Amino acid sequence: MTSNESKTDKYFGQALKRKEDPRFITGAGNYTDDIVIPGMLHAAMVRSPYPHAKINGINKDSVLGMPGVEAVLTGQDIVDAGIGSIPVGWLLPELKTPAHPAIALTEANHVGDIVAVVVAETRALAEDAAAMLEVDYEPLPSVAFAGAAIAESAPVVHDDVPGNVAFNWEIGDATAVQEQFNVAHKTVKLKLKNQRLIPNAIEPRASLAQFTPASGEYLLYTTSQNPHIHRLILAAFVMNIPEHKLRVISPDVGGGFGSKIFQYQEEVIMLLAARLMGRPVKWTARRSEAFVSDMQGRDHETETEMAVDKDGKMLAFRVNTLANLGAYQTLFAPAVPTYLYGTLCNGVYKLPAVHVKVQGVMTNTVPVDAYRGAGRPEATYAIERTVDAMAHALGEDPAEFRRKNFIQPEDFPYQTPVALVYDSGNYEPALDMALNMMKYPELRAEQERMKGSNKILGVSVISYVEACGLAPSALVGQLGAQAGQWESSLVRVYPTGKVELFTGSHSHGQGHETAFPQIAADELQIPIEDIDLVHGDTGRMPYGWGTYGSRSAAVGGSALKVALQKITAKAKKIAAHLLEASEEDVEHENGVFRIKGAPDKSKTFFDVALMAHLAHSLPEGMEPGLEATAFYDPKNFVYPFGTHMAVVEIDTDTGKVDLRNYGCVDDCGPLINPLIVEGQVHGGIAQGAGQALWEEGAYDEEGNLLAASYMEYTMPRADDLPMYQIDHTVTPSPHNPLGVKGIGESGTIASSSAVANAVLDALWHECGIEHLDMPYTAEKVWKAIRDSRAGMGQAADD
Amino acid sequence: MNVTVNVNGKPYTRDVEARTLLVHFLREDLLLTGTHVGCDTSQCGACTVHVNGEAVKSCTVLAVQADGMDVKTIEGMGTPGDLHPLQTGFWEKHGLQCGYCTPGMIMASAELLKHNANPSEEEIRYHLEGNYCRCTGYHNIVKAVQHAAEIMAQGGQSGQAADD
Ligand code: FES
Ligand code: FES
């Protein structure tokens, strides 16, 4: 038995290859669409082809006789079943929230809104019938862009949201900012668009529901980042099912990036269909459905202004943003462009005054909610673009301009003017490491040499801070969150010394099944092979809040640590009892419990686990068993930071941007598993670079999605990206037991700004172009260069 | 309509609708769910398998077109106890996160290594441009393929690596 050979290796910090991988590399992963329940039916959604339309009627008979068709469900069936609106999970003062029915009843509000559902014997037959269903639509006027939607004469998306404004929100002191602007030496102003993105996890969403009438129990397999949240919403707010009679299992999930946090219409529909049909019902999205139904990201129209004094020290930063919320508000929608954005608009700088104003606007587009980074990439973009513009205006090097405005190490904990208290940080070492790693002076020299040729170079240096590890429950409660954001962990030790860990966090690629056992193996001092992590099943674990906001390690990992400490505390008591020593005389070292100074008298973890269960000899009054649960509520957010640098080469004849090099130095505190951390950074960089260079969820002005497949929505492919150079500084978080911070989103939070600034650095040096909106497609860049040269040519002629 | 397809060395005969795609035949009729579906426009490569030894997106092939052919899927590449060098490479180099694109990546890479035992970074990236990965940023996928090439160069043929 391996437990008898307890080891002392430190697992924390090792680049172990992942325990979960054998199943994935051999094709044995178990994703929702892989699951078959005998007798299951299949559902196909009928989705509105119009951005806004009245539903005058649906002729169920048009398909009910078709082969294999078992049922057609409409909005009326939702009403008849007493099913409630899908709720919003974060309320703001005076927030206007339109109803969000699982199936639209009288009005479809975006292309892709569900107006009916066909249930049939096979997926193909369901889709055949869905295509044939007669729906009498009456198209209504519609609007896609936030700026257009607040115009006086704009079409109204929902009658109960007059003027399409769902909320007005602000943070910071507008007067203090104005006072700084009044005395400023220099100011700059930018108009920025942070375009709509579509998350595009490669596994499309899927759900499979089963109902057992005899017990009244429901089982839902679904592609979720947070199965407990789904159960809570479905049970308490939407379906009115006793919470303990709904088991939600989120098996292997093929990427989430935020898009699998939310309570979607389809999950409600599957549960209802399973009950009505008396058979299991499955739905799996086609990619073309994902484009019009997965929650989308970003979509800000923003004006920024910065003021500095005569020494180039920042005085104030002002932000005014229109946030496009789309047609409905889903789980975190109101929080993303406010508390996860406005509070981050201070960046890494000592800014005496900051003010951020945000208007949340409803439009006839797919709803917008958290997508990797959620508000923080938008904040970083607003600041870091403006900082570059200011550096240009001052004629200062962008790296040095940043450096002299950094919050200093001795300033922490640092209270920003926009509510957050940064717990710890040391920004300069990360900057210097990045500059050295990328050979910054040589890049600038190369840029000079290339000037005027048809290949120009752009270099960026951006520094970011983000707030993650969501979140202190009482604080977010005050801010409007309708949920707690602590995390739980259960540690179950078996008589044989084998251990199962349970967490309310969820891995959909992040490597929990390796990282969590690494933490446990160190604390219990047993081989990692004896430990497995279970997650993603509300039937097997204590309550939890899932994975988003880079919270798994900082909050879920901390909960695990606390539970493990309870186990070792009890184990030590049992060991002391077995060794006939007092607890204070027993130490837990090198995998054994032994009497200090008498190293031959020891008990292994296995001995203790066995006795805990045999209970033949336990300390007086001790309960048998060896199992502990912990609920951990963080004291603050955690604040990862770092410096990212991008190097782009632009072909001025074609406008094509080549991302030549990318380097970054991140600080996420101590690394549990460097291999996993680097993987997170790589993927994050790719998604941010995708935003900067290619991706755009483009709509026409009426709300028709123009980029509705992989033909039009351009995500980076292997041959579009370079190898990344990655390093770290380590500044532990002072307030959680592991010292760890999040790393799941940093890459994305920093990289869209880094790549954007590199492109603009090239265009500014070559042609004096101060700003251009992402994505920097060849056509857009080529036109900008041509126009600027035409302008310059003309100027020379005059 | 009856088709017989040799999948991972075994013949399977099934009655399929003419419109059944090979990927659905594999997943739904044979329950070989290691082959994934990521799109409906033949652009993600999650469904890549080998048909008569060539990497093919199985969502672009009808099951009836594969009648009488040899198909190899990820399930036929190796087992946890006897991995193909590419499976080892992806594991060692952290070439996967959610694992959804991984079977397709491995099948597409296997074709590359068959024709090019020692591909450069650029050749690997070019060859895999038909396969989307949203998690890894591709960095470790490139390293995984390079690692597999090294194992194979050292004669480390494990799994069912003698690729047909
Ligand atoms: S499923 Fe996307 S290419 Fe086949
Ligand atoms: S590992 Fe998730 S898509 Fe590639």
CATH code for the domain in which residue A564 is found: 3.30.365.10
Q: Give, in order, the Cα–Cα distances in Å from B144 to each of A257, A434, B124.
A: 23, 26, 10
Nearest CB among A30, A255, A511 relative to B134 is that of A255
Q: From edge to edge, which strands make up the β-sheet containing A134-139? A: A107-108, A53-59, A134-139
- Determine, yes or no, domain membership for A327: no
Instruction: Report the alpha-carbon distance of residue A262 to residue A282 in Å, rounded.
Output: 18
Question: pLDDT higher for A364 or A2?
Answer: A364
Domain spanning B85-153: CATH 1.10.150.120: yes
The pLDDT assigned to A6 comes to 40
Same domain, A650 and A758: yes
Domain boundary (A606, A632, A658) is at A632
Same domain, A521 and A569: yes
CATH code for the domain in which residue A223 is found: 3.90.1170.50
A157-163 long-range contacts, Cβ below 8 Å, gap at least 24? Answer: A157/A52, A157/A98, A157/A109, A157/A327, A157/A362, A157/A363, A157/A364, A158/A98, A158/A109, A158/A362, A160/A96, A160/A98, A161/A96, A161/A98, A161/A362
Ligand 2: which residue has its CA nearest to atom 4? B133
Task: Please tell me if the CB atom of residue B55 comes closer than 6 angstroms to any atom of ligand 1.
Answer: no
Assess B133–A contact: CB distance below 8 Å, yes or no: yes
A342 in Cβ contact with A171 (< 8 Å) = yes
A329: which residues sit within 8 A by CB, 6+ positions away? Answer: A88, A95, A97, A98, A100, A166, A367
Instruction: Report the alpha-carbon distance of residue A279 to residue A210 in Å, rounded.
Output: 7
Q: A419-429: string of b/e by CB count within 10 Å (b at 16+)?
A: bbebbbbbbbe
The pLDDT assigned to A597 comes to 87
Percent pLDDT > 90 in chain A is 93
Domain boundary (A632, A648, A683) is at A632
Confidence of residue A798 (pLDDT cuts 50, 70, 90): very low
Same domain, A717 and A781: yes
Asked if the model's pLDDT at residue B75 lies above 80, the reply is yes
Task: Please tell me if the CB atom of residue B38 comes closer than 6 angstroms to any atom of ligand 2.
Answer: no
Asked if the model's pLDDT at residue A8 lies above 50, the reply is no
User: What residue in B sits closest to A25 (Cα-Cα)?
Assistant: B87
Same domain, A721 and A577: no
Same domain, A624 and A664: no
Task: Please tell me if the CB atom of residue B151 comes closer than 6 angstroms to any atom of ligand 2.
Answer: no
Query: How confident is the model over A702-761, as pLDDT tens digits?
Result: 999 999 999 999 999 999 999 999 999 999 999 999 999 999 999 999 999 999 999 999
Cβ contacts of A724 on chain B, cutoff 8 Å? 137, 139
Same domain, A396 and A282: no
Instruction: Indicate the average pLDDT of chain A.
Output: 95
* 3-state SS track over A69-87: EEEEEEHHHHHHCCCCCCC
Q: 3-class SS at A544?
A: coil
Strands A353-362 and A314-326: parallel
Assess B101–A contact: CB distance below 8 Å, yes or no: yes
Same domain, A673 and A700: yes
Domain boundary (A610, A632, A654) is at A632
- Determine, yes or no, domain membership for A172: no
- Determine, yes or no, domain membership for A91: yes
Cβ contacts of A714 on chain B, cutoff 8 Å? none
Assess B123–A contact: CB distance below 8 Å, yes or no: no
**Per the CB < 8 Å rule, is A17 touching B98?**
no
Q: Counting one residue from A and one from B, how many pairs have CB atoms under 8 Å apart?
A: 184
- Determine, yes or no, domain membership for A15: no
Query: How confident is the model over A522-544, as pLDDT tens digits?
Result: 999 999 999 999 999 999 988 98
Task: Please tell me if the CB atom of residue B101 comes closer than 6 angstroms to any atom of ligand 2.
Answer: yes
The pLDDT assigned to A792 comes to 59
Same domain, A616 and A655: no
Assess A709–B contact: CB distance below 8 Å, yes or no: yes
Nearest CB among B38, B44, B140 relative to A682 is that of B140
φ and ψ at A609, to 5 degrees? -60, -40
- Determine, yes or no, domain membership for A545: yes
The pLDDT assigned to A790 comes to 87
Q: How far is B68 from chain A (nearest CA, A)?
A: 24
Type of residue at A233:
I
**Start-end ranges of CATH 3.10.20.30 in chain B?**
2-74
Task: Please tell me if the CB atom of residue B37 comes closer than 6 angstroms to any atom of ligand 1.
Answer: yes
Q: Which of residues 185-204 of A touch B (CB under 8 A)?
A: 200-204
Same domain, A641 and A628: no
Alpha helices, H only, A395-452? 398-405, 427-437, 440-450
For the domain made up of B2-74, give the CATH fold.
Ubiquitin-like (UB roll) (3.10.20)
Assess B31–A contact: CB distance below 8 Å, yes or no: yes
DSSP H or E segment with residue B157: none
Same domain, A113 and A223: yes
Q: Give, in order, the Cα–Cα distances in Å from A423 to each of A37, A420, A498, A550, A638.
A: 49, 9, 37, 16, 7
Type of residue at B90:
F
Confidence of residue B157 (pLDDT cuts 50, 70, 90): low
Number of domains in chain A: 3
Query: How confident is the model over A384-437, as pLDDT tens digits?
Result: 999 999 999 999 999 999 999 999 999 999 999 999 999 999 999 999 999 999
Same domain, A271 and A410: no
Assess A183–B contact: CB distance below 8 Å, yes or no: no
A606: containing domain: 21-28+486-632
- Determine, yes or no, domain membership for A170: no
Same domain, A620 and A671: no
Task: Please tell me if the CB atom of residue B99 comes closer than 6 angstroms to any atom of ligand 2.
Answer: yes
- Determine, yes or no, domain membership for A577: yes
Query: How confident is the model over B11-68, as pLDDT tens digits?
Result: 999 999 999 999 999 999 999 999 999 999 999 999 999 999 999 999 999 999 999 9
